[in-house]
Structure 1
Amino acid sequence: MRSAGYKHAVFEVVPPSRPSRSRGVSMAGFHDHGPVPKAMRAIPHPAVTLALDFGPGRIVADDATGRRRGSLVAGLAFEDLRVSGRDVEVVQVRLSPVVAYSVLGASPADLQGAVVALDDLWGRDAERILERLSEARSWQDRFALTDDVLARRREAERPGRSVPPEVARAWDRIMRSCGRIQVETLAAEVGWSRKRLWSRFRSHIGLTPHRAAKLVRFHHAAHRLAAGHSPALAAAESGYYDQSHLHRNVQAFTGVTPVTLADEPFLAVDDIAWPGHAPPVTRTDRQ
């Protein structure tokens, strides 16, 4: 368990003691110990986000479509999402889009980057799970409970919810290459035409292969910026043509400049919450 401060807010960040038994699933616990001075910008990342909000407070999530309180699901490449709250306790789960449909009951393509209430997807099951989380005695117990629930949902997967192996392989290659792979190369590797890969990938993942690669590359660059690297260096490390190319991509995903992005609190705790999932970002001036 570690704490990370941002202005007047202090977050308790807890990673699980062991990885999930389900491939493509990672989780972390968050508990704020002070009011967030203003809504924080959520930074897009290459995963579908499930937030299980079981504490006395409630998450407040605002985007272009309105405001939601409590447990939620955010699709890939969400836009202008702001999060606030007080005395909030959350188990946050990041789901690879390859497994998201079998776990959530809604595919990344159905979500289309939107933020939806968990009740809308799971109905009364959501209430029962949150009640059990609130009764658990420790964070590790909550992680074990969450992992069990997600595994059982995957085991009960119905026909039509699985991602074709070619699409799963293409997503894995995009992730392993940090977004530096051409669509033509992906199509050749999975044995499909470029047109077929484009169509099937989008129908299952919710993004085209090209936009998925841009999202993964942005994710890598954002962590380089948060680690204190200059925009020019972060651009070179992340495979951009130049600093201007990075600037355009950052603005497209967040609406802010690379310099502003570097100080976003959501990035400041990523290497504590998700060790090994992205380049380290923790800096001594944020402790």
Structure 2
Amino acid sequence: MVAYAVLGASAELGGTLVTLDDLWGQDAVRTHERCMPPDRGRSDSPEAALARQADAGRAVDPEVTFSWRQMVASRGRVRVERLVTEIGWSRKRLWSRFRAQVGLTAKRVAQLIRFDHAAHRLATGHSAALVAAESGYADQSHLHRDVMAFAGMTPTAVAISPFLAIDDVAWPPKPSSVI
């Protein structure tokens, strides 16, 4: 969603390589000049330049933002049907707007979020059967198919892969409810 606001790019660019000049035109040149090192007479940071572009860029639909947040909060287990009911859009409209503004369909994003959570659980030593059950997969073979599709390796290989950094930032434990 940030890429949509900052870069102004749409889903039609998916899988293509474009320059910042192609996306921003003359604004890219001005931004580059403002972000020169201080010893060259400029002192603007790239972060400040991107923040300005985000402020001036396209706004992401509040419904898309809401849907994204629901997907993250549910760790990818929210159903698209529930989202369209809550936001008052048709399934087709959510599909279209989400794809245009995020670059993927809502269903695919939910799958990736669920996979990411499952991969982190596997890497912390939980069994594939437990991870499948807790992550909303129908069964362990369903988890296995997603892991193979997204990571190109088995759940066991994901669990021992050094590329997966374990941290509480990605998926902190959910707070327990107090009654």
Output the TM-score relative to the length of structure 1. Answer: 0.50
Partner of 1:42: none
Structure 2: how far apart are the matches of 1:244 and 1:227? Answer: 20
| 1:104 maps to 2:104 | no
After superposition, residues 170-189 of structure 1 pair within 5 angstroms as 170-189=67-86
Q: CA deviation at 1:155?
A: 2.0
After superposition, residues 72-91 of structure 1 pair within 5 angstroms as none
The structure whose Rg is larger is 2
Give the length in aligned residue pairs.
164
Aligned counterpart for 1:277 among listed residues 145, 170, 174: 170
Aligned counterpart for 1:147 among listed residues 44, 47, 60: 47
Greater fraction of residues in strand = 1
Partner of 2:89: 192
Q: CA deviation at 1:215?
A: 0.8
Structure 2: how far apart are the matches of 1:127 and 1:245? Answer: 50
Q: 1:217 to 1:111 in 2, by over 3 A?
A: farther
Q: Is the 8 A contact 1:181 1:213 kept in 2?
A: yes
After superposition, residues 51-130 of structure 1 pair within 5 angstroms as 98-107=1-10, 109-112=11-14, 114=15, 116=17, 121=23, 124=29, 125=31, 129=35
Q: CA deviation at 1:245?
A: 0.6
Q: 1:126 to 1:257 in 2, by over 3 A?
A: farther
Q: CA deviation at 1:221?
A: 0.6
Q: 1:119 to 1:202 in 2, by over 3 A?
A: closer
| 1:226 maps to 2:119 | no
Q: Is the 8 A contact 1:201 1:207 kept in 2?
A: yes
Structure 2: how far apart are the matches of 1:213 and 1:260? Answer: 23
Q: Is the 8 A contact 1:224 1:279 kept in 2?
A: no
After superposition, residues 12-23 of structure 1 pair within 5 angstroms as none
Structure 2: how far apart are the matches of 1:171 and 1:254? Answer: 22
Partner of 1:55: none
Structure 1: how far apart are the matches of 2:20 and 2:91? Answer: 38
Q: 1:203 to 1:105 in 2, by over 3 A?
A: closer
Partner of 2:176: none
Point out where structure 2 has 5 or more consecutive residues left out of the alignment.
Answer: 174-179
Structure 1: how far apart are the matches of 2:119 and 2:33? Answer: 35
Q: Is the 8 A contact 1:223 1:279 kept in 2?
A: no
Structure 2: how far apart are the matches of 1:115 and 1:203? Answer: 15
Q: Is the 8 A contact 1:235 1:241 kept in 2?
A: yes
Q: CA deviation at 1:197?
A: 1.8
Output the TM-score relative to the length of structure 2. Answer: 0.76
Q: Is the 8 A contact 1:218 1:249 kept in 2?
A: yes
Q: 1:253 to 1:276 in 2, by over 3 A?
A: same
Q: CA deviation at 1:115?
A: 7.1
- What's the secondary structure of 2:164's corresponding residue? helix
Aligned counterpart for 1:156 among listed residues 50, 53, 56: 56
Q: 1:264 to 1:116 in 2, by over 3 A?
A: farther
Aligned residue type for 1:156:
A
Structure 2: how far apart are the matches of 1:230 and 1:237? Answer: 11
Q: Is the 8 A contact 2:5 2:60 kept in 1?
A: no
Structure 1: how far apart are the matches of 2:64 and 2:49? Answer: 26
Point out where structure 1 has 5 or more consecutive residues left out of the alignment.
Answer: 1-97, 136-143, 281-287
Q: CA deviation at 1:100?
A: 1.7
Structure 2: how far apart are the matches of 1:146 and 1:111? Answer: 23
